[in-house]
Amino acid sequence: MSTQIERERESETETESEADAVTELPSAQEARMRKKAEARADREERAREEAQERADAEDSYHLKVFRYDPEVEGKMEPRFDDFHVPYESGMTVLDALIYARDTFDSSLTFRHSCRQAICGSDALFVNGSQRLGCKTQLSDLDQPVRIEPLPHSEVEKDLVVDMEHFYDQMESVEPYFQTNDLPEGELEEQRQTPENREKVKMSTRCIWCGACMSSCNIAAGDNEYLGPAAINKAYRFAMDEREGEDMKQHRLNIIEQEHGVWRCQTQFSCTNVCPKDIPLTEHIQELKREAVKSNLKFW
């Protein structure tokens, strides 16, 4: 009987030891994972320190970058972070931001795509002016280079702003070709004279970056104002001879509304900041003249 009791006790002890070993396994795994995370953090910290040493040793540019993240506690209060980026000949603001993100802080957020001033996604407020990051040379700027999101737009995170309202204004002018004057022949092309093409050429260069809208004081105070980019897009089609007089009148009716061309106060801020050198203010004034002429009646 005593032998049986001893065996049962031994069995219970073994079971307890096995249970203890099972409980120890997760903690051992957690310890290994913690050690790996610490090693990785140490490597990243050393890399940042080395990059900063190189930046200090070489010719570098001082960036002050706007930071804001509404989803992370401790980053909800807007602030400016400092980055010292090693300078290379031909370096742009976008190049410097990419270096800062990849080297110092991977959470730094901004839009960019083509890096050739075509996509319009990297419009920023640099040293107090709307500019394309990929088109702005660091060597042309005074230090520290202050980089902020576009004014008069809701900031989503860091340098990224909400562009939905801007796109809505662009869509409201029907920015696509429409005509009732189609050629009679099925395979005959829609012809445009070289003179007319030259007239609308500059207006076709718009890349929807939003720089002009951000610089416009009228748009800042009147959320319904179409804005210079949308009016320029209306100009591009209203002045295209292939659409015909009826469609031209339709477009003039859209832009001569209360929050259309008549709200423009000819401040030239949109023209000054346009990265594609479009004479936006001139186009707006010409549409005003066309609207007046279309309403004149002689009888």
pLDDT number for residue 54:
59
Does the pLDDT of residue 12 top 60, yes or no?
Answer: no
**Confidence band for 40, pLDDT divided at 50, 70 and 90:** confident
The ranges assigned to domains in the chain are 60-153, 163-183+191-295
pLDDT number for residue 14:
54
Phi, psi of 144 (to 5 degrees): -70, 145
In this structure, which topology does domain 163-183+191-295 adopt according to CATH?
Fumarate Reductase Iron-sulfur Protein; Chain B, domain 2 (1.10.1060)
Q: The dihedral of CA 217, 222, 223, 227: what is its sign?
A: negative
Helix spans in the chain (H): 2-57, 93-103, 164-172, 194-200, 211-215, 217-221, 228-238, 245-255, 269-273, 280-295
Q: Which residue has the tokens 């005509």?
A: 179
Task: Identify the CA nearest to 132 among candidates 142, 123, 141.
Answer: 123
3-state secondary structure of 190: coil
What CA–CA distance (Å, rounded) separates 196 from 131? 30
**Confidence band for 288, pLDDT divided at 50, 70 and 90:** very high
The residue-averaged pLDDT of 169-176 equals: 95
Provide the angle, in degrees to the nearest 10, between the axes of the packed helices 280-295 and 245-255.
110
pLDDT number for residue 147:
98
pLDDT number for residue 213:
97
Give 53-104 pLDDT, tens digit per residue.
655 556 899 999 999 999 988 889 999 999 999 999 999 999 999 999 999 9
Q: Are strands 160-161 and 123-126 parallel, antiparallel or unpaired?
A: unpaired
Does the pLDDT of residue 22 top 60, yes or no?
Answer: no
Question: In this structure, how many other beta carbons lie within 10 angstroms of the beta carbon of residue 180?
Answer: 9
Give 200-223 pLDDT, tens digit per residue.
999 999 999 999 999 999 999 999
Q: Are strands 160-161 and 155-157 parallel, antiparallel or unpaired?
A: antiparallel
pTM tops 0.75, yes or no = yes
pLDDT number for residue 182:
77
The average confidence (pLDDT) of the chain is: 88
**Most confident segment among 12-16, 43-47, 60-64:** 60-64
Give 247-270 pLDDT, tens digit per residue.
999 999 999 999 999 999 999 999
Mention the CATH class of domain 60-153: alpha beta
Inter-residue contact 93 to 142 (CB < 8 Å): no
Residue 235 CB-density burial (10 A; 0-12 exposed, 13-18 middle, 19+ buried): buried
What CA–CA distance (Å, rounded) separates 298 from 294? 11
| Rounded alpha-carbon distances, angstroms, from residue 177 to 207, 213, 221 | 17, 23, 31
